[in-house]
A and B are shown apart, each in its own frame.
Chain A
Amino acid sequence: MRSTIRARAGRTLGIVALIAAALAPGTTSVHAADGPLILKVGTDQEFSGLNPWQSVYVLDYEVFTLNYDLLVGYDKDLNYTEGFATSWTTSADGLTTTFKIRPGMKWSDGQPATADDVVYTYGFVLDALAKETTLGSGYLDGYVSSAGVKSVKAIDPETVEITTETPTPLLLAAYVPILPKHIWSKYSLEQIANAKADGFFANDPPVVGTGPYQAVQYDTQGKFMKFERNKNYWGKQGAADQIIITHFENNDTMTQALKNGELDYARGINADAFDSLQGQPNIVPVEGFANGYSYLTFNGYPKAIKDGGSSTRATADPAFRDALAWGVDLQQLVDKVLAGHGTPGTSLLPPFQAKWYVAPDPSVLRHFDLAKADEKLTAAGYKKDASGNRLDKEGKPINLRMTWPASESELATAAQFITEWWGQLGIKVNAGVTEDQTLLVDLTPPEYDPPGKADFDTYMWGWVGDVDPTSLLEPFTTDQIGGSSDTFWSNARFDELFKKQGQTIDETERKGMLKEMQEIFYQEVPNIPLYYDSELHAYRTDHFGGWQNQPPDTGTPLFQFGPIGYTLLTDATAAPSPSASEAAPSAGASATAAPGDSGSPTSSGGANTGLLLALGAVVVVAIVGTLAVRRRGAKATEEE
């Protein structure tokens, strides 16, 4: 009688185990044997939505280049190729570019896609610029204004003429998706540009575009987007019938999902997880050059700021900055901070920008040399006092604050090393992390609206660029102080060259200007480019094949420029290959893994093991329970 509690417990556990077994995966088939071929992609970025003007992240760009065509596309080598337009010619004076539009092209809903749609899209931006209305987040209209577009005209349904203020290389590079006039012209400027407007047009699915895939589902919780093949697509059709892009909160979970076969592609994997993927069957880790770099910047604000600004005027002195740059071992940082996944920084343009990148001349190239740094500091007027503290020109010991955003947590390691090295130069460094938004506030100078105090000495972050180098150069122009400039550096010659290069079409001429700009930058060191961190992606080869890096030597298949990576994919399971199904993660892979199987681990093989084990657990619990009950009964009577 007393023993019934134990028996009850035993029985309850048994029931729980049975329920668990019943819920075990594989008891009901969740997908048909030959459904659509689905490409599953994971990323750590969040979606902003489907209205391209509201784009903020790389993910948003990826979304709109799947849905829509740019006027001019990119091939696998990042050369211009056909997009919405098939070809173009520029007039002799460089001011007018004539684009030929593909004849017979259709939108995904069957309507004809013509020059009118180009006129609508560019006209829409021009209208917004004229009315000084910011389009969404203001990212895309910037391309049209920096190209100096004056007018857009349709000569006939297959010809568009665009005129610019000056000759410019930026027109072809304008990353603006061509939108269907018959859908978008129904809405006013406000309704498209302003997310707070009444009747805001969010462009909810199903989207109508000329790109290879259109969004048919945007999960209302914003965590994944589903795309379906555009049957009217003018270009090569990729093997995937559907694409699902999912946002992952946790990087490790994303990597696990890739390993499990629940994802075919993962973007933005952590360095250690990346290394663990080497040698895994059917997984290819890809290390792409980043189109950007991480840097350590100095507060170069030229004037004193009340209750703010740098703690020393030294940070505004190029000689000081140059000397300190000799005290940073860039290769060590790459090895220790990035686990080798990157290259030491030199120019402000990363090597990814193969056409424009110019390495510093060996005669001025810096390397790690603390003795030389010491020498240079003293020569520049920064002497050490008796206790070994380095003094600035005002006679104060130099104590530098150093920070980085919480989102770039690996920079903490870089800070540790730099603190150590500069410590040996007699410079104390106080390093600590700052939450992203808070850091954004700390960085703002008085020129921003609302005015800030630029309350920092040094900090570390990164820049990412477009295919055209202009956006990587712009933050260092005087005009951007109060905008994107975080160095507050101002150099008249740099500004002059910046303006000229934005109007130079001849590539050799332009490269000459960019070379000089890179030299000036390297000399004055407004910031120290620390390294060009690699983009770490990985993909599976047992489901899709034909993965093509863009560009081939230095890029990754997806999340680059345009949808070409998706259109080149082939169906890996279509080719007879016994090893492919064995490599599927579930133990005892079921023979019914037909093409179209989305490769989820919940196939019958693994579930059977689960079921068996669960049943086994029930049996064990029941046996133990009964035995214990018997024993307990005996013991209880003893106690009483």
Chain B
Amino acid sequence: MATRFIARRFAQAALTIFLIVILNFILFRAMPGSPERVLARNPNVSPEAIQQIRERWGLDKPLIPDQLIAYIGATFRGDLGDSFAEQGRPVTEVVGGRIGPTLLLFGLGEILAIVIGLALGAYAGWRRGGSIDLVGNGVSLILYSMPYFLLGMILLLIFSSTLHWFPSFGMTTLGVDHDSPLAYLADLSAHLVLPVATVALGLIGQYSILMRSSIIETMSDEYITTARAKGITDTRILRNHALPNAMLPTVSLIAINLGYVVAGAITVEVVFNWPGLGTLTVDALKSRDYAVLQGIFLVLSISVVFANLGADMIYGRLDPRVRA
């Protein structure tokens, strides 16, 4: 039963990914423009040269079926093409090099946001009307409604430009050869603080608000009243009964959020000049670097699909009724 559940989910995921691969291609090629067009604004470049460049990159062949089939075939062989803007570097290399930084930034940010946001929301909901609830709610709403880049710029202005506590851009200090892994870690940590804080603050708001209303709802359930009447301590009730049930919507939210986290990635990374997928997306979009764009969105689509798959599994564990 459980295995059929998992197997079915995996099959669905595989189909989704295949459809995404096709959609990816069509979406980006449907945009007007083409990478080599920008060369037309230089009088040194002859029309013959531009045509030759189009041919080199396979941009002159008909979109469907030639280019589409070539693309699908290549993708499933693991060949994601070459980057036009980066002089033919393989997309797997270009995109692969940027996944790490984004994962680091958003991984840490999400973890922080989940831990703090859920704790905050749970406590606020449990002690509804208390000072933490009132203050927490207000702060969460403000953070939730603020765009990432604004948060980022404010933190940058206060903690980097004014107080000089943290560097303002990049992953590590430029040009420095670190004497030891510890030195590298320290430098990296210093650069991580502000961007991670931005991501975490942006997400805490959502998680705490959702968790809070979840807990409030759960609290009014009869089994909670029963448990209290039986004399079980608040902590025990919260941890063993209320939280697991209240977590369900939040787990879904976290998985759904992963898709939107991409949009956030772009703005936060741009503000802090973080060398991740976000900044790569902006660059590739501007230059219509199709192969790179397709590569990025493939990676992201797969992540979202698997994140939702993971959420389904966790849901299954948290709520036995789902597994049936």
Contacts and interface: CB of A to CB of B under 8 A. Distances in A.
B61 interface: no
B44 A260 contact: no
Interface stretch (A86-94, A137-145, A319-327, A371-379): A137-145
A438 B32 contact: yes
B72 interface: no
A49 B164 contact: no
A437 B37 contact: yes
B288 interface: yes
Interface string B66-86: 000000000000000010111
Contact of A437 (B32, B82, B123, B156): B32
Interface stretch (A27-35, A67-75, A520-528): A27-35
Interface in A462-480: 471, 474-475, 480
B14 interface: no
B40 A598 contact: no
B126 interface: yes
A248 B273 contact: yes
Pick the most buried of A5, A586, A607: most chain B CB atoms within 10 A of its CB.
A5
Given A143-B44, A195-B56, A474-B43, A246 B174 contact: yes
A38 B174 CA distance: 9
B46 A54 contact: no
A124 interface: no
A54 B56 CA distance: 14
A483 B47 contact: yes
Contacts of A438: 31-33
B186 A48 contact: no
B114 to A, nearest CB: 14
Interface in A14-69: 16, 20, 23-25, 27-32, 35-36, 38, 40, 46-49, 51, 54, 56
Contact of A202 (B88, B126, B165, B270): B88
Contacts of B85: 46, 48
Nearest to A13: B116
B182 A28 contact: yes
A441 interface: yes
B153 interface: yes
Given A30-B187, A253-B169, A262-B169, A441 B98 contact: no
A142 B82 CA distance: 25
B110 interface: no
A587 interface: yes
Nearest to A60: B87
Given A23-B190, A143-B44, A471-B44, A196 B57 contact: yes
A31 B175 CA distance: 10
A484 B43 contact: yes
A24 B153 CA distance: 20
A223 B270 CA distance: 12
A587 B164 CA distance: 8
Contacts of B82: 195-196
A249 B84 CA distance: 19
A582 B184 CA distance: 28
B179 to A, nearest CB: 7
Interface stretch (A104-112, A214-222, A556-564, A567-575): A214-222
Contacts of B179: 32
A23 B189 contact: yes
A610 interface: yes
A133 B168 contact: no
B39 A56 contact: yes
B43 A602 contact: no
A482 B43 CA distance: 11
Nearest to A226: B175
B86 A49 contact: yes
Contacts of B98: 221
B93 interface: yes
A54 B47 CA distance: 17
A91 to B, nearest CB: 27
Interface in B87-126: 87-89, 93-94, 97-98, 101, 116, 119, 123, 126
A598 B33 contact: no
B174 A244 contact: yes
B93 A139 contact: no
Nearest to B122: A5
A135 to B, nearest CB: 8
A224 interface: yes
Contact of A482 (B47, B56, B168, B238): B47
B221 interface: no
Contact of B175 (A242, A256, A587): A242
A484 B42 contact: yes
Interface stretch (B202-210, B250-258, B279-287): B279-287
A14 B6 CA distance: 41
Given A223-B273, A480-B43, A602-B173, A30 B153 contact: no
A25 B190 contact: yes
Interface string A236-256: 000000101010111011101
A200 interface: yes
A449 B235 contact: no
A138 B45 contact: yes
Interface string B265-276: 000011111010
B49 interface: yes
Nearest to A437: B33
Contact of A200 (B47, B88, B166): B88
A137 B45 contact: yes
A312 interface: no
Contacts of A257: 168-169
Contact of B273 (A24, A202, A249): A249
B165 A250 contact: no
A432 to B, nearest CB: 15
A138 B46 contact: yes
Contacts of B89: 49, 202
B154 to A, nearest CB: 12
B52 interface: yes
Contacts of A32: 179
B162 to A, nearest CB: 10
A257 B191 CA distance: 13
A579 to B, nearest CB: 18
Nearest to A53: B87
A23 B82 CA distance: 39
A224 B273 CA distance: 11
A498 to B, nearest CB: 11
13 contacts: A16-B116, A23-B189, A134-B53, A202-B88, A220-B93, A223-B279, A254-B169, A256-B161, A260-B167, A262-B173, A436-B286, A438-B31, A475-B43
Given A1-B234, A5-B238, 19 more contacts: A1-B233, A2-B235, A23-B189, A25-B166, A25-B186, A28-B186, A31-B176, A56-B39, A134-B52, A139-B42, A221-B280, A226-B175, A246-B170, A249-B282, A253-B272, A260-B168, A262-B169, A600-B176, A606-B163
Interface of A: 1-2, 4-6, 9, 12, 16, 20, 23-25, 27-32, 35-36, 38, 40, 46-49, 51, 54, 56, 132-134, 136-143, 146, 194-196, 200, 202, 219-224, 226, 242, 244, 246, 248-250, 252-254, 256-257, 259-260, 262, 407, 435-438, 440-442, 444, 448-449, 471, 474-475, 480, 482-484, 486, 585-587, 598, 600-602, 606-607, 609-610
Interface of B: 31-34, 37-53, 56-57, 82, 84-89, 93-94, 97-98, 101, 116, 119, 123, 126-127, 132, 153, 156-157, 160-161, 163-170, 173-179, 182-183, 186-187, 189-190, 192-193, 233-235, 238, 269-273, 275, 279-280, 282-283, 286-288
Q: 9 tightest A-B contacts by CB?
A: A437-B33, A195-B88, A142-B44, A138-B49, A474-B43, A49-B87, A134-B49, A25-B190, A138-B45
